[in-house]
Structure 1
Amino acid sequence: MDYGQLKEEIIEYSKQIGIDKIGFAASDPFIEMKNLLMRQEALGYQSGFEHKNIDERTHPELIFEEPRSIIAIALAYPSKMTNPPRGKRGERRGIFCRASWGIDYHILVREKLEQLAAYIKEKVSEARCKLMVDTGELVDRAVAERAGIGWSGKNCSIITPEFGSYVYLGEMITNLPFEPDEPLHDQCGECTKCLEACPTGALVGPGQLNAQRCIAFLTQTKGFLPDEFREEIGNRLYGCDTCQTVCPKNKGIDNRFHPKMEPDPETAKPLLKPLLQLSNREFKEKFGKMAGSWRGKKPIQRNAILALAHFKEEQAVDDLIKVLQEDVRPEIRGTAAWSLGKIGGEKARTALLTARVHEKNSDVQQEIQKGLHLLNEQ
């Protein structure tokens, strides 16, 4: 088998099926990444969403029999919305990050990997492939960097010369000995704009992220959001794009190659008040095809309540009072109490005083007190 020729054929086929960039990497252990992950774990910087076994994340031979190479791919996604709806008083809107626009990228990237794997197996009957997109064992960023897809930026994203950092990544381990591509040189230089712009200081250094402070992670948690982050979240419902939007390498980049990635403005930038009363079925119908729906409706609703407080949306007071009085989830009732205090007004005060008498949950009681304290400060 001429694997050099096969590699060229795979590259050509990848273009035909809409893969925007492809690279080939050795399947050697990712020792540098292993050291980074161990340091992250020791510092308590992990999000908790990662694959738990660091050895499996960095040693392909532990998760695949006799690996010979890894193929990495990238799909470029849009950074701008056509005719985005504008929020206004009484009709405030939240925002999903760009990586959640359109159809869930896990589905789209896996479809491309499956097409690629089928093509390879057609060419080589004994070929074996293990496909991964985000939730696999390996670290997508480490594979993409080694395969020459892009360099690892100070914002912990892979940055490509062609598409900026607006790319979805996926990879497959194979038992075929493809010649590896050369990694790209770091092109961030002395720039530190992403580090300076991070709203919560989560980027603690070049290429080092404290996920526990990252808004992208925090928007996906299900409990009460820690007080120090409640104002920083702004109107973000899922994810955060700040470290990408300030990056000079993303200036003027808007990748419009895949119709399934195009955002529906009413789901990518939805009205906030209707989110508060969505049933599970309504949530799945409206948002179920987005990557940002994977944690369910609770984090989105909690974040919507915080966004209404961010806007000091007086016209949402009645809606928030209803949540405080009727919602069965303590995290949602309590967040509504805090937000009512943030928005202020006599109607909010009366509702909080009434809730203080009737509320049985101690965590919600604490949030009611916070709300009343905010009102008194005003």
Structure 2
Amino acid sequence: MNLDQFQKELVAYASEIGIDKIGFASAEPFYNLKHQLIRQQQLNYQSGFEEPDVEKRTRPELLLNEAVSIIAIAIAYPSKMKDAPQGVRGARRGIFSRSSWGRDYHAALKERLTLLEAFIAAHYPEARMRSMVDTGELSDRAVAERAGIGWSAKNTNIITPEFGSYVYLGEMITNIPFQPDEPMEDQCGDCRLCIDTCPTGAIVEGGQLNAQRCISFLTQTKGFLPDEFRDKIGNRLYGCDTCQTVCPKNKRKANRIHPEFEPDPEIAKPLLEPLLKISNREFKGKFGYVSGSWRGKKPIQRNAILALAHFKEADAVPALIDLLQSDERPVIRGTAAWALGKIGTIEGLESLREVEKTEKDEEVQEEIQKGLAFFAEGLKG
């Protein structure tokens, strides 16, 4: 079969199996990206979740011998939620980012890439392929940009004309010499809304992100959240969408295309207090199918405590006192101590003073002192 004709058939097949965009790129090294990654490491701007080997991230031939082309795919996910529940006093709610509203995208994209591999192999038995989604060595965004899926925006997301930046990305390296697509021109212009509205100033400049300050990253860490970010996390349980929701290119991009990504409102915007005591089994059963569960329940619970403090939810004080007194995990006990001080009830103050006498963990003691300091500041005021 003529390769050009097969490439067209492959594009048509991709659409049939639920791939919203497909593009083709050369497997040449990503020289510009290499310089950017080295600079990121020098500035300590990387998250630590990435592949640490810059060569593997920028040289596809190290991942597949005889690599010639890369196929990039994109699948749109929804930005709007039907019947979104509203939190009220006594029943506050948290929020998962839009990328974690429906079925875990890693599985969804891998299924489609597996189907693409089978389709290619049926026509080209000599084809060699390696697919990856998110956790692979390559930069999904760099591949998507080169393959013409969209342009790399100032917030470092890929923006597509059709779906905005609400797209999941994946790619396949292959030895088949597909005709490459043309990259898109940058269409951000002079707009800098994403830079100016980032809650933590994580977007240092257009195209450069300090992941260590990014709320999306911070919500996935397992330790104590640094003090400077605790008031900025709001009610976010996983991820952050601010730089996407303010983007003019995302206006009217509802993307209600794939039922598997439609959110269950009680999962995407869950009640906070029940999360504090959820068991591992319950957490896996309720949240295990969404991508935001990948780090387990501990970061979600810590973030739920911070969200209750954000709301100054006095009704949650008994539950927070219970965590402070009996939870085995220092991060949860300490964060609860901080939250009790932030909420500021007499009941919370008494519990902090009582636990202060017996708490052995130094970090938890520090958090207790922070909680008590809130009360002292309140008396001064």
Aligned residue in 2 for 1:215 = 215
Aligned residue in 2 for 1:300 = 300
* SS at 2:172 equivalent: strand
Give the C-alpha shift of residue 128 in structure 1. Answer: 1.2
Once residues 362 and 115 of structure 2 are traced to their aligned partners in structure 1, the CA distance between those partners, rounded to angstroms, is 53
Identity %, equivalent residues: 66
Q: Which deviations, in whole Å up to 9, do the C-alpha atoms of 1:202-251 show, x marking residues without a partner?
A: 00000100000000000000000000000000000000000000000001
2:227 partner amino acid: D
2:353 partner amino acid: L
Aligned residue in 2 for 1:289 = 289
Give the C-alpha shift of residue 3 in structure 1. Answer: 1.2
Aligned residue in 2 for 1:238 = 238
Aligned residue in 1 for 2:349 = 349
Q: Which deviations, in whole Å up to 9, do the C-alpha atoms of 1:316-343 show, x marking residues without a partner?
A: 0000000000100000000000000000
Aligned residue in 2 for 1:158 = 158
2:367 partner amino acid: E
Give the C-alpha shift of residue 166 in structure 1. Answer: 0.2
Structure 1 gap ranges (5+): none
Aligned residue in 1 for 2:105 = 105
Once residues 48 and 61 of structure 1 are traced to their aligned partners in structure 2, the CA distance between those partners, rounded to angstroms, is 24
Aligned residue in 1 for 2:272 = 272
1:154 partner amino acid: K
1:213 partner amino acid: R
Give the C-alpha shift of residue 46 in structure 1. Answer: 0.5
Give the C-alpha shift of residue 375 in structure 1. Answer: 1.4
Aligned residue in 1 for 2:198 = 198
Moved over 3 A (4+): none
* SS at 2:22 equivalent: strand
Structure 2 gap ranges (5+): none
Q: Superposition pairs for residues 1-378 of structure 1, below 5 Å?
A: 1-378=1-378
> Once superposed, what is the RMSD of the aligned Cα atoms?
0.5
* SS at 1:179 equivalent: coil
Once residues 345 and 305 of structure 2 are traced to their aligned partners in structure 1, the CA distance between those partners, rounded to angstroms, is 17
Once residues 256 and 108 of structure 2 are traced to their aligned partners in structure 1, the CA distance between those partners, rounded to angstroms, is 15
Once residues 15 and 332 of structure 1 are traced to their aligned partners in structure 2, the CA distance between those partners, rounded to angstroms, is 46
2:273 partner amino acid: K
* SS at 1:358 equivalent: coil
Give the C-alpha shift of residue 348 in structure 1. Answer: 0.5
* SS at 1:34 equivalent: helix
Give the C-alpha shift of residue 358 in structure 1. Answer: 1.0
2:111 partner amino acid: E
Q: Which deviations, in whole Å up to 9, do the C-alpha atoms of 1:31-64 show, x marking residues without a partner?
A: 0011100000000000000001000000001111
